[in-house]
Amino acid sequence: MSKKKGEYSEIAKATKIFGGSQIVILISNILRTKFVAIFLGASGYGILSLYQSSITLISTFSNLGIGTMAIKEIAGADNSQDNARIDKTIHVVRRLSWYTGIFGAFISLFFSIPLSNLIFDTPDFYIGFCWLSLAILLNQLTTSNSAILRGLRKNKKLANASVTGAVIGLLISVPLYYFFGRDAIVPALIISSFISFIRSWVFTKDIKVEKKHLEKISIWNYGKPMIAGGIILSITTLVTIIKELIIRLYIEQKGGLVDVGLYHSALLIINSYLGIVFTIMSMDYFPSLSSKINDLKACKSILNKQITFGLTIIIPLISLFLIFNGLIIELLLSNRFTNIEYMLSIAVLGTIFKLYSWSHSYIILSKGDNKRFFWSEFLAVMVSFMLSMGGYHFYGLNGLGYAYTIGFIYYAIQTQLLCAYWYKINIEKNTLLIFLIGVIIILFTHLSTYHLNNITLKIVSLLISLTFGLLLLKKMQISFDLKGLWKKK
């Protein structure tokens, strides 16, 4: 095996490992979204999206970033092979998850009326926020269990818990929406959270800690580094969530719940269905980058390889999405959501720039420069916020599509400049050339589909994108044994 093949095959192997579970979860989300769209309609979908945004906002505010930092702390303890340190860290993570979960539940329960007035402009939804306090607590406990599994590198158990939780939640929530309509929104959210917690608990209950290692341990003192780093990440995420919530409230006031539902469904398709690429790759990219973050040459290599490998996947996916956009909307949602077709066709172009910016932003995070990471993210969020508000005000839903893509173009430029200035980490000329070719391909596909509407050019653009991906795989010396699928073992 050549050196190049070995380097890229590690990325491909990690993608294969985490890809299977994510695909099953993706299919579950697709089916859930489809049935919700049918049974609740766009306005019901708008109510669901506002509830979900509120849960995410409260959870992010209350969890102090424990989920992310716990992975780092547990993995470090596990690598040390110090059983006392491992037991203490797991014990602290579990305790902190209860404290932060109860804190989040308290916010939802005791501020239910103000939240209802703020989110829905009426106190009528306060009962929903009271009940959703349970979901917030359960979600935090699930997050800590998942962090323990990931920190201990029990990836198969983590994948199993995630997959079964998603599938069981789907099978239970869909009949609720069918029989009870909008009245089932809150119960379905609570039940889904409960199922996810049970599945995560099943796979972590055998992870015991020795009581002798917990004597005279102070939860807050031992967990202080975890909390300190997590707060910065939590604030960063919180800013993004607040931005999205304000945008949705603005859309609700200007265009109504129907537009909120349409906007939510568009983001869901972009972030969940194409975003699976980023979820899969982040499982390996972030740890790999963090382990060699002080090696300048290695960091440059990892960055360029990640971008190149990501392009092999995302360019064909974007082209397929553009050509079959309308069909995908009807398949995933319903024909009542066709108003977002052109918005999605514009927004999906931003995904390639998201890959570029995402790969660079992880360098800042891996360096442990939490303050720099925060200000970089904050600036990008503010630019995205202004673009979204202006875009919707002047161009409606299509304007949100323009804002999404322009925002990620800006973010890509910003993160590259910051990485070059702060850390002297630059993208290679060959990688930049490949990236620009990819941009040209998807622009040609968009032009062929939405402006020329020429079937021949559509086919040509799709073939070009697929060929582009295959040529990159060949360049990286990655191959798939298709014949082996038919052979008996």
Q: pTM value?
A: 0.74
Determine the average pLDDT of the residues in 210-235. Answer: 74
Tell the residue number behind the tokens 């918005």, with chain if given: 343
Q: Which tokens is 229 given?
A: 């780093």
Q: Which tokens is 297 given?
A: 């040459």
Determine the average pLDDT of the residues in 198-210. Answer: 86
Q: Which residues contact 82 (CB under 8 A, 6 or more apart)?
A: none
The crossing angle, in degrees rounded to 10, of helices 126-151 and 83-110 is 170
Q: Is the pLDDT reported for residue 14 higher than 70?
A: no
Q: Which tokens is 24 given?
A: 């099953």
**Secondary structure (3-state) at 307:** helix
Q: φ and ψ at 333, to 5 degrees? A: -120, -105
pLDDT at 1: 43
Q: Alpha carbon 198 to chain centroid distance?
A: 22
Q: Which residues contact 221 (CB under 8 A, 6 or more apart)?
A: none
Residue 305 carries which side chain, given as an amino acid letter? K
Q: Is the pLDDT reported for residue 106 higher than 90?
A: yes
pLDDT at 482: 40
Q: Is the pLDDT reported for residue 112 higher than 70?
A: yes
Q: How confident is the model at residue 215 (pLDDT cuts 50, 70, 90)?
A: low
d(CA 356, CA 306): 9
pLDDT digits (tens, 9 = 90+) for 321-353: 899 888 888 777 777 777 888 899 999 999 999
Tell the residue number behind the tokens 């470090």, with chain if given: 76
Range with the poorest average pLDDT among 56-60, 205-209, 290-294, 389-393 = 290-294
| Residues 96, 144 contacting (CB under 8 angstroms) | yes
Q: How many CB atoms lie within 10 A of CB 287?
A: 16
Q: Is the pLDDT reported for residue 63 higher than 90?
A: no
- Mean confidence (pLDDT) of the chain: 83
**DSSP, res 63:** S
Residue 112 carries which side chain, given as an amino acid letter? S
Q: Is the pLDDT reported for residue 162 higher than 90?
A: no
Of 31, 36, 39, the closest CA to residue 264 belongs to 36
pLDDT at 4: 54
pLDDT digits (tens, 9 = 90+) for 248-266: 889 988 888 888 888 888 8
pLDDT at 10: 62
Determine the average pLDDT of the residues in 29-38. Answer: 78
| Residues 232, 374 contacting (CB under 8 angstroms) | yes
Range with the poorest average pLDDT among 290-299, 300-309, 421-430, 453-462 = 290-299
Q: How confident is the model at residue 102 (pLDDT cuts 50, 70, 90)?
A: very high
pLDDT at 87: 83
pLDDT at 216: 67
DSSP 150-173: HHTT-HHHHHHHHHHHHHHHHHHH
Domain extents in the chain:
21-255, 275-480
DSSP 91-160: HHHHHHHHHHHHHHHHHHHHTHHHHHHHHHSSGGGHHHHHHHHHHHHHHHHHHHHHHHHHHTT-HHHHHH
Q: Which residues contact 160 (CB under 8 A, 6 or more apart)?
A: 21, 199, 203
